[in-house]
Chain A
Amino acid sequence: EVQLVESGGGLVKPGESLRLSCAASGFIFSDTWMTWVRQNAGKGLEWVGRIKAKADGGTTDYAAPVKGRFSISRDDSKNTLYLQMNSPKTEDTAVYYCAKFRGWGWIDFWGQGTLVTVSS
């Protein structure tokens, strides 16, 4: 059974840092492209970024609003995905979902999400 369990969310002040983790199980994590998607309260879905499998280069891509501030990484030995959030802004407040790709770019499984609140 596929499982994605996010952790690390909470209250963070603007300009501080926060790291989210996503523990994966039930599939071959090292072969899988992974992504983070966020959702503001009562709002729609916003793609944050993705990381390819190491066999495909392990490269990352980011949405413009977070590029240069957020960083996605992976530890295949621990089956864990990370989102490093540096210099967060109040507009980064959202539920952050860890999710896995199947194929080119559709998401076939999502975690339950972790809430990040950026406020002073």
Chain B
Amino acid sequence: DIVMTQSPDSLAVSLGERATINCKSSQSVLYSSNNDNYVAWYQQKPGQPPKLLIYWASTRESGVPDRFSGSGSGTDFTLTISSLQAEDVAVYYCQQYYNTPYTFGQGTKLEIK
């Protein structure tokens, strides 16, 4: 199984500042035939189901604010929030869909400093 490891486990950032969350896969999730990275990012607020933010490692889902961006390739990926807003307080998860079993990172809790 592909293990997804996020860092840090928790993060406190001031409003308006940049937040960066990392995700490392135990093997490459880059499919060479199409040069796509099979990674998605989700946001989960308390009492709610997760919400899709990013897929193909860097494609923003429709309706997601452009302060959210994804980057990386192979085994190392990053979710960046360019200017933290109060409504961004949540737990963020990465997920690989390169092969089954699909696996999630352990989550990163983002708070306001």
Residues of A bordering B, CB below 8 Å: 35, 44-47, 50, 61-64, 97, 99, 103-113
Contacts and interface: CB of A to CB of B under 8 A. Distances in A.
A38 to B, nearest CB: 11
Contact of B102 (A44, A105, A108, A113): A105
Interface string B72-113: 000000000000000000000101011011111111000000
B17 interface: no
A103 B55 contact: yes
Given A107-B52, A108-B61, A61 B101 contact: yes
A111 B40 contact: no
Interface majority SS (helix, strand, loop, mixed), chain B: loop
20 contacts: A44-B104, A45-B44, A45-B50, A47-B104, A50-B102, A61-B100, A62-B101, A63-B101, A97-B50, A99-B49, A104-B38, A105-B38, A106-B55, A106-B56, A107-B52, A108-B52, A108-B55, A109-B52, A110-B51, A113-B49
A45 B93 CA distance: 8
Nearest to B96: A105
Contact of A64 (B61, B93, B98, B101): B101
Contacts of B38: 104-105
Q: 5 tightest CB-CB pairs across the interface, nearest first?
A: A105-B97, A110-B49, A106-B40, A106-B55, A45-B104
Interface string B44-61: 100001111001100001
